[in-house]
Every structure is written in C-alpha cells, then in structure tokens.
Homo-oligomer: A and B are copies of this chain.
Amino acid sequence: MGQMMNQPLLISSIVEFASRHNGGSEIVSRRVEGDMHRYTFRECHQRSRRLANALQGLGVKMGDRVATLAWNGYRHLEAYYAVSGSGAVLHTINPRLHPEQVAYIINHAEDQLLFFDLTFLPAIEAVAAHCKMIKGYVLMTDRAHMPADSKIPDLMCYEDLINSHSDDYTWPQFDENSAATLCYTSGTTGNPKGALYSHRSTVLHAYASALPNALNVTSHDTVLPVVPMFHVNAWGLPYSVPLTGARMVFPGPALDGKSLYELFESEGVTMSAGVPTVWLGLINYALQNKLKFSTFRRTVIGGSACPPAMMNTLIDEFGVEVVHAWGMTEMSPLGTACVLSSKHKAMPQDEQRKILQKQGHAIFGVDMKIVDDDGKELPWDGVGYGHLLVKGPWIISSYFKGEGGDVLQDGWFPTGDVATIDSDGYMQITDRSKDVIKSGGEWIGTIDLENIAMAHPAVMQAACIGIYHPKWDERPLLIVVRRPGQEVSREELLAFYEGKIAKWWTPDDVVFADALPLGATGKVQKNKLRDHYKDHKLPTA
C-alpha cells in the first residue's frame, strides 16, 4: 500500500475549499422574487452550514432523501452542499415533469423533506396530498414572501429556518461511495428511473469535467449555468466551478432570450452551458435586436445535438467558441467534449467545423465503444455506426432500487445512442436507437436530416421521424417550424437536400407545424410526433 493521506472524496470538501481558498468569489442570483442577490462563497458556506444544522434539527439522517424543486439560484446551491455534505441525499426534481410523475418520483425516492421555489407553490399544493412520506415542506424564500395561507400545513420558511440555526457545523467524514444525489431520467416510456450518484463519482466528475479539454473552467471566468440544477446537477457546474474560483451567475426562472441576454451583459458572463433550445431563444433575440455580446466567449452545448447552423452563428456572428458535449443522466452527465487536437489546427476552417460538430472525445475516466446488434465491437473509422456503450467511475451500475434490473452489458452501460467514432477517438451521435429510421433494412440517422433542414434560413426547428411505408417499412417525414414571418415550401425544402446527402436519405415528405413538443429537459419528444403523425400518408406510399 502507498503511504499517502487517507482522505475521502466528499462534496463537502468542495464548498469548504471554495470558502477557504476562493472565499471572496462572488455568486450572483436573479431571484424568483424578482430582484438580484449577491454574496460570496464564504457566505454560501456559512449558510450551508446553518442549513446542515437545520436538517439535523428536522431529523434528517445519513442516506435520507431530501428533495428540491427549484431554479438555479443561491438557495438551491446551499441545499446542494448542505444536504449531500451532511450525508443525506439530494433529490433534484424536474418541475417540467407531469404532476403525476412528480408525485411518483417523490414517493419512489421516499423523500423526507421538500424544498421548493415560490414559482412551484401551486404545483406542490396540487401534489402534496399524494406525497404521504414527506415530513416537511420548505418554501425557499423569506418571511415577507410567504403566502398568507397555504393548503400545505406547517409550511416552513427557508430564511427563518436557517436563521434559527447556528453555522457551527463540522462536515462529517464518511465513505466516499456513499450516495450523494439522486436524479431521475425523464423516462419517455414507463416510469422515470433514478440515477444515484456517490460523493466519489461527483468529485471525480468535477475534476474531469473542469479539464481544459472539457468544460475548461478557469479562475478568471464568470460562469452562468443555463442548464438547470434540476437537470443532472447543471452538468456538474455547482461542483466544478467552486474548484476554480470563478464567479457564478444564476439566472433563476428567467430563461427567455431577452432576460438571458441582459444578464450576460450586466454581469460580464464569459462562459455558459445549456441545451440547444435555450441558445435558439438567445440567438434569435440578439439577431432580431442586432445585439452583440461584450464578454461572452465560450459555451458548452449538449443534451441534444447542436445543429451546425447554430454553431456557425455563435462562432461567426457572435465570436462565441462552442464546445459540443455529450452525456446523459446515467453518466453524471459528461462523457465526451469536442475540442480540437494539434493535428486539426492545420486544417481549413470548414474541415475543422466538421470535427467540432461531432460530440467529441472521451474525457479521461470514460471509456466508450460501438457495437453491432450482436454486441461485437466495431472499428473506429468515422463511418460505420453502432450502439454506443460506455463505462467509467461516474456511470451508473444500476438504477435506484434496482428498477429495470441488470442494465449493464458485460460491465458496459448501453446508452441507447447510435454513433460513429473516428480514428482520433472523436464520437458522433447519429441518432437515438429508438428514433433511427429503418428503411428497407438500412438505417437512416435523423440528426443529419434535421441539421440540413435547420441550415435553411427560413427554418427555426426541424424534426424527422420514421413513418410507415408499405414497401420500405419506414421512410423519413420532416416536420418543420418556420421562423416568424418566413416562408418556405415543401418542394424548396426537399430540393435543399440535393447534393448534401445520399438521395435515398432524402425525406419523402414535409409537414409544417407551429411548434415541436419538448420534454422536461428541452428535447423534442419524438414519441409524441410519431403518435401525432402515425396516420400521415406519404406521397410515395
């Protein structure tokens, strides 16, 4: 055995480090109450310790689940550190889930306490009766904003709660494999399943995701996580940013283009992270109002494929570097990030862009492979695609409470994505396996088809699904949302595919829609689209 200090990797060490070594770094939050709030990591640590004492006072024990239903903000951050740091398990709930799903996961997780933002008071009042195990509800606001009366009995006030406790608290030391946070998948089919992260997996993910080849968080950044803290822990930013001393800016509930733009400018945000739909709003607002960013330099985009047109606009119009990243709830979430290597530096710009559009290179800790239907590993040639499997210390080995049974295949987690990997290790997702279109025994990836459509100036959003075809089994149908005030016909769009893709991949038909159905994490819900268009008759059929 080596003779090194024996120190568990614990989430409490992150806030302790930030408070001690970057104590003066600022955390800025746009509050649900409407105003701006500012304090430092030192104060964040102090209030987290008060909250830890309060949790103890409320009878929360090691391993107990404590839920939050909240936007990105400083109180949510305090809950992150206090709950996990004290040995309990933070269960972040996605408020965009159906109320029945919210009640289901609260009961499934056996949550003891629920902390929530003002926004969600009506929603919680509606589900509270179905959540029998919850022993206490805490509204994350101050006395002045507490409702005069509420259907929730004994509703607690967050500020009162922490003010009634001392900050004299020493973070307990325990096994780093202890559970720290619980996050449910959005579960398009069946009930949501929980990913139960450990302290060890969270700290390792924080180290790895902050690396220069991944999120690249530096001490002189001002980081605004648009990705919600209820969605896989905001991609780990509440853990990776405090390692570095960067400033943090939280947008609260205001995620529209205008609110984000104003916050980016007023706070001098340099770095951000979020899903493509959020950037769509921000970009449109800036374009419509002919605005540029003064400080914004770099963003991470993931959660679904970043359309090349969006990447090009961010880089070419706004001078914002884009890091395309890929991961999933089951992966904490980061698996790959796309940053160029030395060998790419000499390439012409459009070739570089093609690399940057890939989901990228594995981050050290993660291994991946693509396999055929029989589980045989496929070569990394950048062309052949297969089912993507992953492993690593921040990837789940099973779902919470064993839901879904044995999920691993020979020690690897099957992601449900279909991908290619090139000889330099750059991975590109071609589709979700369940969205792939099976045309005459061959596969057509829908991401490519959608990206081409979205490169058309009149197209705001596009989705492609497989529709029944008597001869080919399935053929692609393109569903398009036009930009406000813009026109484009079915024929023009079909002609737009010419020369960009193999002829037989071209969609068989185009329909126009006012909006696409988005799931709780901002992804297009293709199962809804398939349902909606299941009787659509293709002209080729």
Listed in ascending order, the chain A residues whose CB lies under 8 Å from chain B are: 1-7, 9, 14, 17, 20-25, 175, 177-180, 195-201, 204, 207-208, 210-213, 216-222, 243-247, 339-345, 361-362, 364, 367, 391-400, 411, 413, 423-425
B244:A211 contact, CB within 8 angstroms: yes
A210 CA to B364 CA in the complex, in Å?
11
Beyond contacts A1-B198, A4-B393: 12 other A-B pairs, Cβ-Cβ < 8 A, are: A2-B179, A2-B180, A2-B197, A3-B396, A4-B394, A5-B392, A9-B393, A22-B424, A211-B243, A212-B217, A213-B244, A219-B341
CB of A370, distance to nearest CB on chain B (Å)? 13
B219:A4 contact, CB within 8 angstroms: no
The interface residues of chain B lying within 8 Å CB-to-CB of A179 are 1-3
CB of A295, distance to nearest CB on chain B (Å)? 11
List 6 tightest A-B contacts by C-beta distance, closest first. A2-B198, A207-B207, A21-B425, A243-B364, A4-B201, A212-B218
CB contact under 8 A between A397 and B5, given known A361-B245, A364-B17: yes
CB of A203, distance to nearest CB on chain B (Å)? 9
The interface residues of chain B lying within 8 Å CB-to-CB of A4 are 177, 196-198, 200-201, 393-397
A5:B395 contact, CB within 8 angstroms: yes
Counting every copy of the chain, the complex holds: 2
The interface residues of chain B lying within 8 Å CB-to-CB of A2 are 177-180, 196-201
B342:A221 contact, CB within 8 angstroms: yes
B342:A220 contact, CB within 8 angstroms: yes
Can you pick out 20 interface pairs between chain A and chain B where the beta carbons lie within 8 Å of each other? A2-B200, A3-B179, A3-B399, A4-B200, A4-B395, A4-B397, A5-B396, A5-B411, A5-B413, A6-B177, A7-B392, A21-B361, A22-B341, A24-B343, A207-B211, A211-B211, A211-B244, A212-B244, A213-B218, A213-B243
CB of A223, distance to nearest CB on chain B (Å)? 11
CB of A273, distance to nearest CB on chain B (Å)? 15
A177 CA to B178 CA in the complex, in Å?
18
The interface residues of chain B lying within 8 Å CB-to-CB of A340 are 219-220
CB of A238, distance to nearest CB on chain B (Å)? 14
B245:A398 contact, CB within 8 angstroms: no
A24 CA to B180 CA in the complex, in Å?
38
The interface residues of chain B lying within 8 Å CB-to-CB of A197 are 2, 4
B213:A212 contact, CB within 8 angstroms: no
CB contact under 8 A between A339 and B17, given known A213-B244, A244-B213, A398-B3: no
CB contact under 8 A between A213 and B207, given known A24-B424, A178-B2: no
B341:A245 contact, CB within 8 angstroms: yes
The interface residues of chain B lying within 8 Å CB-to-CB of A178 are 1-2
B222:A342 contact, CB within 8 angstroms: yes
A397 CA to B3 CA in the complex, in Å?
6
The interface residues of chain B lying within 8 Å CB-to-CB of A208 are 207
CB of A400, distance to nearest CB on chain B (Å)? 6
The interface residues of chain B lying within 8 Å CB-to-CB of A343 are 24
A150 CA to B343 CA in the complex, in Å?
45
The interface residues of chain B lying within 8 Å CB-to-CB of A397 are 3-6
B367:A196 contact, CB within 8 angstroms: no
A340 CA to B218 CA in the complex, in Å?
9
Which residue of chain B has the shortest Cβ distance to A4 in the bound complex?
B201
The interface residues of chain B lying within 8 Å CB-to-CB of A244 are 211-213, 364
The interface residues of chain B lying within 8 Å CB-to-CB of A367 are 17, 20
The interface residues of chain B lying within 8 Å CB-to-CB of A22 are 341, 424-425
A404 CA to B181 CA in the complex, in Å?
42
The interface residues of chain B lying within 8 Å CB-to-CB of A394 are 4
The interface residues of chain B lying within 8 Å CB-to-CB of A245 are 213, 341, 361, 425
